[in-house]
Chain A
């Protein structure tokens, strides 16, 4: 199901949660709403579900305005951040809830309910725990019960609020993959809210980056990562080095040396040069000075655990982080205190805010 969101506004007292947001969600896609806390992403999700009401603007499902459709009639699946499982019901009864509260005319027979819940529990691999209570389950299991419960009413849209927020790292990774497969199998439109850029970039078909109640950028993970709309998106989507430079006659310069820049250089004057750590190129410092157009830095820390090594550098008093392969690190033989040359493969320049 396609969802159109037009100029939705929402305030809570003096706080503007959403300041005129428009978005088209395509049928069948897996969309991530990504942003820091307070960016309005959860509010938007709740408005789509009908749990909150927009002060202005409209949300329509397949072209039909939802204003007069109460949450209970919207047929959306909602997975809450803390799952909101009914603690006095078994796993089975939790999953069956949405089927059992249907109006009499639409309610399936108890036998059909049992079959359907059985299927759902199979799908989330929890059939063996059907008679347990939520308090007897692990976080990952509760998450899957919540999913099965939401899917029981055969929703056209699945909404997930920070679905992996309360889980530990290992479980989170597994569930992520599993959710992606589930989404593909179910032929459903899914929207999930997250503040974890890695999760959004890995899982979603498209990412919506939000900040201060506004949508800043919408695009595929590659688009938003490679061509961020502004400094906020650049910053939010991954580790970044911010270096104070200057734009002079259309050339960005750092300590007098020109910087290779992707895209616009921007207005003349003080500028912030953004470089991702893996775009920092390190080289062996030659004995007789530094080659033209390069900077030199002193190594202040080396983290060499995992496939990628992180090196912290001191570039004329600024902290700079670089990522490189372990092989490259050993080729360079970098140690704390040693010197190396620095270059930037790609950088973006944004005007420094006064």
Chain B
């Protein structure tokens, strides 16, 4: 009996028209909201030629902003990596009182506006803040200085790693760890040889997200930095200053560098996923 072509379509499949419409809609949306702005950033940056673009980037203040941004990321990301692993380990593998409170606290930076996060540090460490006089007497400046920028960034980015790992570790349970311990492994050996390999892809993803946010954070950092050019300006802050000064080419040049960093991060993630596809598939089974 000749098969009716329609009957061969999978039960959950859609007609060709629906498929084209759905895919088209997704592409259109992506183009309008992601690709177009990205293209605009680069075209604006190069609007007055490569020379102006390079000049905008090699300006000493811009270079300083790049340096500060990278430094903040270098401090904030490892800190949150350690914290995130510790917190998700505690939450996923142990039962204890106040667990839901800890979970809620981890989410706090997500639920609070970044501006408020910044203000909290000003209230704590600012000249008229709780610890302000004591810090001044001891010659330590946090607000309107680099330590403040680092603190605010750490605060804002700390949920990323933990949020990525908690569901993963909860799903994996504790059987693997128990197996390792019964076989005679110490706590550290269990963590290094069993837990860490089980979570490494989730961890990597969390770190990449955390890094992207650490480099791009604006609100909280803006409150505590004081916008001192060449000193406490990170790249996003520097872009804003340049833009407000109608120096569009330089503003977009720095912005494009920031966008480029994000793209590199994404590309690195895609490359790793492609390179280790087998292991990722194995880890998920």
Contacts and interface: CB of A to CB of B under 8 A. Distances in A.
> Does chain A bind chain B?
yes
Name A's interface SS: loop
B282 A88 contact: yes
Interface residues of B, number: 21
Given A51-B178, A80-B178, A84-B178, A101 B283 contact: no
A162 B198 CA distance: 24
Interface size class of A (residues with CB under 8 A): 20 to 34
A337 B93 CA distance: 60
Contacts of B32: none
From A73, A88, A135, A150, name the one whose CB has the most chain B CB atoms within 10 angstroms. A88
Interface of B: 175-176, 178-186, 189, 193-194, 197-198, 279, 281-283, 285
A135 B282 contact: yes
9 smallest beta-carbon distances between A and B, as pairs: A98-B183, A84-B175, A135-B285, A84-B179, A101-B185, A88-B197, A78-B182, A135-B282, A101-B189
Contacts, number: 74
A86 B186 contact: no
Nearest to B182: A78
Interface string A31-46: 0000000000000000
Contacts of B279: 88
A149 B178 contact: no
Contacts of B181: 51, 70-72
Contact of B193 (A101, A102, A133): A101
A56 to B, nearest CB: 20
B50 to A, nearest CB: 47
A97 interface: yes
Interface string A60-83: 000000000011111111101010
A76 B279 CA distance: 31
A154 B194 CA distance: 21
B176 A84 contact: yes
A25 B215 CA distance: 62
Nearest to A82: B175
Given A80-B175, A97-B193, A101-B189, A87 B283 contact: yes
A153 interface: yes
B285 A102 contact: no
A85 B179 CA distance: 8
A49 interface: yes
A132 to B, nearest CB: 10
